[in-house]
Amino acid sequence: MSQRYTLKNKVGINGLGAGVWNLGPGGDPFGGPTREAIPVLDRLPMLAEAGMSFYEAHDHEIPAEDAPRAVKIAKANGLKCAMYTPSFFADPIFKDGGMTNNDAAIRKTALENAKRAVDTTVVLGAKTMVFWNGREGFDFMLAKNGRDAFKRLVEGFNKVGQYAKEKYGSKIRFALEPKPNEPRANMYLANVGEVLYLISRLDENVQPLFGVNPETAHSRIAGLDYVWDIELCLEAGKLFHIHLNAQDGQRYDQDLPFGYTEPLKDLALLVVLQDAKYKEIICFDVKAPRTDEQKNIADILHVSSKNLIWLWERALAVDRKKIEQFRAEKRATALAGYLAGCLYGK
- Toward Mg ion, which CB reaches closer, 96 or 285? 285
Omega within 30 of 0 (cis) for the link into 183: yes
| Cα–Cα distance, 158 to 145 (Å, whole number) | 20
| Cα–Cα distance, 30 to 322 (Å, whole number) | 49
**x-or-dash string of contact with ligand 3MF, 133-172, rule CB under 6 A:** ----------------------------------------
- The three-class DSSP label of residue 58 is strand
Would you count residue 85 as binding ligand 3MF (CB under 6 A)? Answer: yes
- Bridge partners for 18 per DSSP: 55, 284
- Bridge partners for 55 per DSSP: 18, 81
- The three-class DSSP label of residue 175 is strand
Which span sits near Mg ion by CB under 5 A: 111-119, 183-191, 263-271, 278-286? 278-286
- Toward ligand 3MF, which CB reaches closer, 189 or 318? 189
Closest chain position to Mg ion (CB): 285
**x-or-dash string of contact with Mg ion, 218-247, rule CB under 5 A:** -------------------------x----
Query: What are phi and psi for residue 8, nearest 5 degrees?
Result: -60, 130
Would you count residue 61 as binding Mg ion (CB under 5 A)? Answer: no
The residue from 21, 138, 260, 312 that contacts ligand 3MF (CB under 6 A) is: 21
The residue from 136, 194, 229, 285 that contacts ligand 3MF (CB under 6 A) is: 285
Would you count residue 176 as binding ligand 3MF (CB under 6 A)? Answer: no
CB 322 to ligand 3MF: min, Å: 35
Tally of CA atoms within 13 A in the half-sphere of 101 that contains its CB:
21
* 272-to-91, 216, 231, 343 alpha-carbon distances in Å: 38, 14, 7, 15
The size of the interface with ligand 3MF (CB under 6 A), counted in residues, is 11
Would you count residue 243 as binding ligand 3MF (CB under 6 A)? Answer: yes
The residue from 61, 96, 194, 253 that contacts ligand 3MF (CB under 6 A) is: 253
CB 183 to ligand 3MF: min, Å: 9
Burial class (CB in 10 A: 0-12, 13-18, 19+), 104: exposed
- Toward Mg ion, which CB reaches closer, 22 or 338? 22
The beta strand positions in 157-314, using DSSP E, are 173-177, 186-187, 210-212, 243-244, 282-284
Would you count residue 177 as binding ligand 3MF (CB under 6 A)? Answer: yes
Tell me which DSSP letter residue 61 carries.
T
- Closest listed residue to residue 303, CA positions, set 345, 263, 252: 263
CB 320 to ligand 3MF: min, Å: 32
- Closest listed residue to residue 186, CA positions, set 135, 138, 223: 138
The residues near 223 (Cβ < 8 Å, ≥ 6 apart) are 250
Query: Are the C-beta atoms of 41 and 30 separated by less than 8 Å?
Result: no
| Cα–Cα distance, 114 to 134 (Å, whole number) | 14
CB 318 to ligand 3MF: min, Å: 29
- Toward Mg ion, which CB reaches closer, 192 or 343? 192
The residue from 215, 262, 266, 280 that contacts ligand 3MF (CB under 6 A) is: 215
Would you count residue 179 as binding ligand 3MF (CB under 6 A)? Answer: yes
- Toward ligand 3MF, which CB reaches closer, 21 or 226? 21
Would you count residue 5 as binding ligand 3MF (CB under 6 A)? Answer: no
**x-or-dash string of contact with Mg ion, 189-218, rule CB under 5 A:** --------------------------x---
Binding site for ligand 3MF (CB under 6 A): 21, 58, 85, 130, 132, 177, 179, 215, 243, 253, 285
Binding site for Mg ion (CB under 5 A): 215, 243, 285
